[in-house]
Structure 1
Amino acid sequence: MLRIATWNINGLRSFTQSQLKEALDQIDADIICLQETKLTGDVIDEQIVTFDGYNSFFSFSRVRSGYSGVATLCRSNLVPVKAEEGLSEVLAPEKCQDLVECYGSTKLSPDRLKQLDSEGRAVLTQFVLSDGKPLTVINVYCPRADPDRYEERLAFKLDFYHLLEARAHALVEAGGHVVVLGDLNTSHKPIDHCDPGDLEEFQSNLGRLWMDRVVTSCAADEGRLQLVDAFRQVHPDMREAFTCWNTQKRARATNYGTRIDYILLSAALSNSLVATDIMAHVLGSDHCPVRAQLEVQLASDPVPLPSLCSRFLVVGKQQKLSAFFAPQAKPSSKEEPKKPCAQAKNVAPKQTSLTAFIQKRPRLETESAAPNVVAAPRNAGAADAWRAMLSGPRPPPLCSGHKEPSVQHTVKKPGPNFNRLFYACARGEGHKDNPESRCNFFQWAPKK
């Protein structure tokens, strides 16, 4: 059995080493394809990325630091015979003997191909089955049509889809099997979306039209490229099977999400599919892993590591992946002795606590011991101000739907209310008919 998984990790450096190890152990796959690693060449050039028990193959963005990026992890006893970065040949090193090749035909210009591969969105690793046929795993992080640059990024996304299709088709035409997996940034059918809205508008989306042409839910005719949706082949009618949620709106708690992470198999390979599952219990990202199990056997002949392996990226001393992670504070066994001050002059006095200040306050006029003095009336406004300050901030208002404390938010959209504070229901976003989801409560916070 061969277990293959995909996971948009949303930033590799946001994990500690122990957190990542725990997540990979939970996924428990022979090949794990990660997207949105956000590790770029300016970080990697002087360090090697290694994972315990895995060899890794990275593609990094060449246009922005800390952006995009994918990585394919293969168990140490499962060495690919070839590995390559990018969907076209523009990134292929000269005289490299272990490239996957089979690029297919496309009408895209060389400049466009360079643009499409410059964001670090694809890594290919190739294995050989026991019957001698090649099996190519294409790990992709497909572009998103960013609303701020919608027309430009939509065209970029569709060209990326076109290039992906051409490469997969060429590999199948050459007599091999293909697995395309990763974050496709499109939910295919209305069943894959928590709120598809108008179905005609939903299905006319250009990304979905591409998926309609290329992706099917069952074994298809081998005469043309048809990629089988592994999850839908096993679970054709399962609803609310989502892989991505808006964590800022706590939508994961109500399972109000989309399915945009896929494992797609070439038609002949889909006959080997045994099981597939969405691993929503694995946390750490706004996506969750998806895993498939194939009944195939790889050739057992030992092969050298392909040159793309991250072991060969090191310049100087080899370092492990732990160097990239957020440091974990280590408890100290004993407190370090304080060093004496070099000068005792002009030392600022320690800040007096509020309690000590009140205890040492000047006597009010009503407490004056001077005879024949009429005390001034207490200032009620000042007393209320002190009382409000000492009692802390006001509690948030209760939401109208659940009568629970609301949560304060800040308006981030540019406009007249930018940076203004407001209160909303603390529960996660969800369907209106779900009583556990967020109610419509909204209230502006008082202006300071």
Structure 2
Amino acid sequence: MKFISWNVNGLRAIVKKNFSEVFEALNADFFCLQETKLQEGQIELDLPGYHQYWNYAEKKGYSGTAIFAKEPALSVRYGLGVEEHDTEGRVITLEYPEFFLITCYTPNSQNELRRLDYRMTWEDAFLAYLTELKQQKPVILCGDLNVAHKNIDIKNWKTNQKNAGFTPEEREKFSTLLAAGFTDTFRYFYPDAEGIYSWWSYRFNARKNNAGWRIDYFVVSDDLNERLLDAKIHTDIIGSDHCPVELDLK
């Protein structure tokens, strides 16, 4: 099984570029999107052979997630079931016989860390949600988790320690997630790989200079580790400020 996750930073914009070509070339069983930035009825995607699941933010042109799946889900949940966290279209959970698949667009702590306190509240609620699911069956989590975990996950780690996405608080929450029985699949296969990122700022020629961050992930509950085949980061695929990431599972 092939899983793809991609923060498209505006689906309507990327559809005018190369979305259909990338979608067809990757030919995933499950294709997960973050930051779709649209409302219901604003786009009509013709994806033969795929079931479409969408979660929209109440605020127009903001956030949003989607999953396109070759197999229909047994059940679908939108959000965490916590009103405080469920107005921005950030989470979709699909249930299948052997696992839960979750796509997530984690809230950014923003400039001057204006939203860091909210981010910490979100992290606790999200971990509680994942832990509850994990008690029922294995979990596959993907998405833009808006954190570079280790120094090797970011180009300029020394100068970014007080910036959103690389604060000690955010990194510690990711460590706590892993300690709760989850695996960062890219690091499972490539524990020491450096210079491989999934997001680059549009400023300062960041992508050209590979001044990036690895903030897009596939994280699985540890009971799936023996089924892991590979984890990839498609740094060559353009169209967004993020590139797609992939998980291959037996």
TM band (smaller chain): over 0.9
Instruction: Extract unaligned runs of 5+ from structure 2.
Output: none
Q: Of Structure 1 and Structure 2, which has the larger fraction of its residues in strand? A: 2
Partner of 1:123: 92
Give 1:195's aligned amino acid: N
- Name 1:187's counterpart in structure 2: 148
Alignment partners' CA distance in 1, 2:44 and 2:21: 21
What is the TM-score with the length of structure 2 in the denominator?
A: 0.92
Return the letter of the residue paired with 1:73. F
Structure 1: segments with no counterpart, 5+ residues: 89-112, 130-134, 217-224, 296-448
Larger radius of gyration: 1
Q: CA deviation at 1:25?
A: 1.8
Partner secondary structure for residue 37 of structure 2: coil
Q: Deviations over 1:143-174 (max 9, x none)?
A: 101116x34x1122112211211111011112
Conservation of the 8 A alpha-carbon contact between 1:26 and 1:282: no
CA contact (8 A) 2:202 2:241 kept: yes
The 5 Å alignment of 1:9-408 reads 9-16=8-15, 19-41=18-40, 43-44=41-42, 49-62=45-58, 64-75=59-70, 78-88=71-81, 113-129=82-98, 135-147=99-111, 150-151=113-114, 153-174=115-136, 176-197=137-158, 205-215=168-178, 225-295=180-250
Runs (4 or more) in structure 1 with deviation over 3 Å come to: 47-50, 198-204
1:312-351 CA deviation, whole Å, 9 max, x = no partner? xxxxxxxxxxxxxxxxxxxxxxxxxxxxxxxxxxxxxxxx
Q: Structure 1 283/52 Cα, relative in aligned 2: closer, same or farther at 3 Å?
A: farther
Q: What SS does structure 1 have at the residue aligned with 2:152? A: helix
In structure 2, how many angstroms separate the alpha carbons of the residues matched to 1:206 and 1:22? 38
- Corresponding letter in the other structure for 1:16: V
Tell me the CA shift for residue 204 of structure 1: 6.0
Does the 8 A contact of 2:57 with 2:63 survive in 1? yes
TM-score under structure 1 normalisation? Answer: 0.53
* Equivalent position SS for 2:28: coil
**What residue is the counterpart of 1:389 in the other structure?**
none
Relative distance call for 1:124 and 1:198 in structure 2 (3 A) is same
Matched length: 248
Structure 2 CA distance, aligned partners of 1:23 and 1:278? 14
State the shift of 1:186 in Å: 0.5
Contact 1:190–1:199 (CA under 8 A) maintained in structure 2: no
Determine which structure has greater relative contact order: mean sequence separation of CA pairs < 8 Å that are 6+ residues apart, divided by chain length.
2
RMSD over aligned Cα, in angstroms? 2.0
